A and B are shown apart, each in its own frame.
Chain A
Amino acid sequence: DAGITQSPRHKVTETGTPVTLRCHQTENHRYMYWYRQDPGHGLRLIHYSYGVKDTDKGEVSDGYSVSRSKTEDFLLTLESATSSQTSVYFCASREPSTDTQYFGPGTRLTVL
């Protein structure tokens, strides 16, 4: 493992509430990613970051925002959670010399 942790690991929340998921990496990787994993869809990119304060949208970014104030931390925020955002969320960082993405253990989010 490349030292990627995610918190919380599990969360149950109600529709309309804000939720923030945290990703922390210890490898000083420049690139970081947030994915959601749903049955039949594989891993879909939500947002990614290519440096501190540099972020961009992925293919399923609606309803999500991100922030990266330090190299090691990448936050994903659901401003107003909806049931369609019930999913397993994975954070990853990329080691540029090998192109390898290292994934965290995931956060299972349930929106009631």
Chain B
Amino acid sequence: QQQVKQSPQSLIVQKGGISIINCAYENTAFDYFPWYQQFPGKGPALLIAIRPDVSEKKEGRFTISFNKSAKQFSLHIMDSQPGDSATYFCAARNTGGFKTIFGAGTRLFVKA
């Protein structure tokens, strides 16, 4: 069974701090790695995504770091804000595949 393992399950960060969420995968055929953000009562929404030909992608305060040899990727949220409090899902999809595999999610709480 293809899996994407995500950690931690929950995370509490002080306002202004750095939030780090990690994911690991097994299937080397995965070639697209998105992160989704979900607020309570809403559907997930794409936050940022990376393909394995680059090791890092940054969009504003959000950065994905990708380590192809270790089969790991992580989301860094710089200068975390209370408005970032949400559940974050990492995911992976393989070349030509219809299906995206999601991690179990991380509940982030940013303390004001």
Quick check: is B62 within 8 A (CB to CB) of the other chain? no
In the bound assembly, the distance between CA atoms of A106 and B42 in angstroms comes to 7
A40 in contact with B44 (CB, 8 Å): no
A positions within 8 Å CB-CB of B: 4, 31, 35, 40-45, 48, 50, 56, 58-59, 90, 92, 99-106
Binds A, one of B52-60, B73-81, B98-106: B98-106
Q: Please tell me which one of the listed residues A31, A40, A99, A103 contacts residue B45 in the complex, with CB atoms under 8 A apart.
A: A103
Binding site for A on B (CB under 8 A): 1, 6, 9, 32, 34, 36, 41-46, 49, 89, 93, 98-100, 102-105
CB–CB B105/A103 < 8 A: no
Contact status of A101 and B98, CB under 8 A, knowing A42-B89, A42-B104: no
With beta carbons under 8 angstroms apart, the residue of A42, A100, A105 that contacts B46 is A100
Contacts of B43 in A (CB 8 A): 4, 90, 92, 103-106
Q: Find the residue from B43, B49, B104 having the highest chain A CB count within 10 A.
A: B43
Which residues in A have their C-beta under 8 angstroms from that of B45? 102-103
